[in-house]
């Protein structure tokens, strides 16, 4: 190989390196977006659990469905989630559905929020 043939390929490894960096950066951002959605789902489920428990405890003490849902909403707000629904069944079971915002989304791809639902209250009476 003579000198002129090698000069034609000068800088080709730089182009390859830039391409590899772009691929790695894209994969990292996509992974962060997925992990953000997974975290939001866990937050929503955990907050729904705690809110339903708080509502069920309040209902057991006061027997007021509106008060139970108010307490569940108060606890959910402390966990930075929005209460979508709160239902108190006749037996004192409180079912809470909440939504947590997904902070990192890729250009409108995927849902804006993750939902979680939980039920708490006395078990079936035997």
Residue 126 banded pLDDT, cuts 50, 70, 90:
very low
Please give the residue that has the higher pLDDT: either 112 or 2: 112
pTM over 0.85: no
Question: What mean pLDDT is predicted for residues 29-54?
Answer: 94
Least confident of 6-10, 29-33, 60-64, 87-91: 6-10
Collapse the DSSP code of 125 into the 3-class scheme (helix H, G, I; strand E, B; otherwise coil) and give the result: coil
Q: Note the pLDDT of residue 124.
A: 46
8 A C-beta contact, residue 86 and residue 55? yes
Q: Note the pLDDT of residue 71.
A: 94
Q: How far apart are CA 123 and CA 126, in angstroms?
A: 9
């Amino acid at each position: 190989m003579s000198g002129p043939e090698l000069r034609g390929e000068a800088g080709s490894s730089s182009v390859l390196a830039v391409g590899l960096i772009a691929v790695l950066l894209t994969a990292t951002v996509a992974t962060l977006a997925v992990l953000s959605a997974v975290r939001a789902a866990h937050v929503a489920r955990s907050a729904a659990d705690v809110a339903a428990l708080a509502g069920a405890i309040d209902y057991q003490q006061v027997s007021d469905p509106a008060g139970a849902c108010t307490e569940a909403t108060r606890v959910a707000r402390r966990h930075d989630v929005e209460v979508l629904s709160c239902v108190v069944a006749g037996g004192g079971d409180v079912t809470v559905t909440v939504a947590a915002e997904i902070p990192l989304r890729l250009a409108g791809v995927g849902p804006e929020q993750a939902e979680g639902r939980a039920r708490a209250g006395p078990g079936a009476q035997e």
